[in-house]
Amino acid sequence: MPTTTQSKITHNEKTTTSTPGNQGSSMMVTIISICSAFLVLTFTIVAVCYRLQKYSYKRFDEEDRRPPSRLPNIAEDIHEGSELILLDAEELSLAKEECNQRITEYFQKCHFEAMSNAREMMEYKPLAKQEDSAFLFPTTIRRFLAGSRAERLFIESSDYDFIYEVGPGMVTPDFKEGQEECRFYCTPTMNIGFYYVFDSNKQKLSPATLQAKMFAQIMDPIKAGSSVFTELEKRQESQAALPTKDVNDHVLALRLNRWPTYVHECIKDQLSDEIFQSIKEKPLYLVCKSHPSSSDENKDYEWRLSFSVLEIEIAKLINDNLRRSYLMCKHLLAKTKLLRFPRKCHVKSYELKTVFMWLSRELDTFEGQEYDQVELTLSIFQRLLEHYEEKNLSNFFLPQQNILDTNKEEKMIEGRKFLKNYFSDEYHIAQLIEILGKNG
């Protein structure tokens, strides 16, 4: 009996001793089960989201550019080809009046922002001491602001375009050997508006080589990203902007010591004598940009003629009436591109600006005439669509140059569809302005 009692006592002690361990194990199992369930739920949610996102992109690709639901009224009408709910004369008049007011308010905002940056317009900023630049060649001797910011034709999303003049030497056009001495001269290529640059030893100057050499003088190493040589090698053709992480464009340019003869004649024919006299002393530049159709042998040595300084001067002469309409065109184009993401739109703002400049010349808006804002906005888009259908849009300063010939056929088709879908008539324009106004 004592043995049995002792055995029971020992057994009870073991049982009592093992109970906390069992409880701990149970709790651990419970925690592991909860964690496993949580992980399974998390992976399930991620998988579902991924599938939904993949499905939405697939659907967006399969459907012929159906806009997102952020454009509710226009989306169905444009995609299905059904008629829009037409406004009567009074309603349309009120809608256009509201649109004109919205355009005016938007222009005033941009105008105020532009004036705050006015000091940067064409402000030459020495980047090296003048006495040093005479001994260092090449070097960047000045920088100036160009593009829409300098022209006061920018919107919120517009970046800054900085041009760096490389010198102190200049490039001579229409060079005739034996008649003059020069360090650099240029000859036109088979592509109108593009040139080869030669040194005094008749060796071609490579844009990429100059970009690599000048890069360290211009860019902050932090913004440089990876090796400039690696980035330049990746490019299939020479491009104007330096390869950086900066959202703004930094462009090297060689200054011409005079205008090419045929360019001088073209510009003189385009403009009134008063305007021509005001810009004829402004410089022209060659920037690092090749034509897409150039052969592999030539594209590494091709430079494009830049009229950026002339564009700044011409933009100053455009009256506020047409300026407002153009700003609204840029705003509508930029916002609609965002709404169509991830589908890329190949219509460029420079193409829009070229149409704008041609229209300003035709309407003689330099004289201050007033036009309906919505009608002008529609006219700019319709003319751009016509040029896309004709596959031809002449450079304002060099009419023989077709600026659309750099676009591939598939990009032209995409551009035509985009312009037809969104900017085909005043009803689309009025509704688009209204919807974008509500959605920011």
Strands of 111-204 (E only): list them. Answer: 139-146, 161-172, 184-188, 194-199
Confidence of residue 165 (pLDDT cuts 50, 70, 90): very high
Report residue 161's pLDDT band, with 50, 70 and 90 as the boundaries.
very high
State the Cα–Cα distance between residues 191 and 302, nearest whole angstrom: 10
Name, in order, each residue with C-beta under 8 angstroms of 253's C-beta and a sequence gap of 6 or more.
163, 164, 165, 166, 285, 286, 287, 306
Structure tokens at 208: 């990429």
Pick the more confident residue, 161 or 119.
Answer: 161
Residue 7's contacts (CB-CB under 8 Å, 6 or more residues apart) are none
Q: Is the omega angle on the peptide bond into residue 342 within 30 degrees of 0, that is, cis? A: yes
Residues 6+ apart with CB under 8 A from 382: 423, 424
pLDDT attached to residue 367:
52
Domains of the chain by range and CATH? 121-317 (no CATH), 319-439 (1.10.1410.40)
What digits encode the pLDDT tens for the residues 174-203? 988 777 778 899 999 999 999 999 988 888
- Regarding predicted confidence, which is higher, 4 or 279? 279
- 323 neighbors 227 (Cβ within 8 angstroms): no
Q: Which of 140, 286, 141 is nearest to 207 (CA)?
A: 286
How far is residue 126's CA from residue 77's CA, in Å, rounded to a whole number?
55
Condensed to tens digits (0 to 9), the pLDDT of residues 243-271 reads 777 788 989 999 999 999 999 999 999 89
**Tokens 């361990």, residue located:** 21
Q: Are 304 and 269 in contact (CB under 8 A)?
A: no
Residue 13, phi then psi, degrees to nearest 5:
-65, -40
pTM greater than 0.85: no
First to last CA, the chain: 93
H/E element, 383: helix 373-390
Q: What is the pLDDT of residues 366-411, one digit of tens each?
A: 455 667 787 888 889 999 999 999 999 999 999 999 999 988 899 9
The DSSP result for 81-122, as a single string, is -PPP----HHHHHHHHHHHHHHHHHHHHHHHHHHHHTGGGBT
Residue with tokens 């920018």: 154
Please state, in angstroms and rounded to a whole number, the distance separating the CA atoms of residues 256 and 287. Answer: 11
Residue 419's SS3 state is helix
The pLDDT, as a whole number, for residue 183 is: 84
- Phi then psi for 144, rounded to 5 degrees? -145, 155
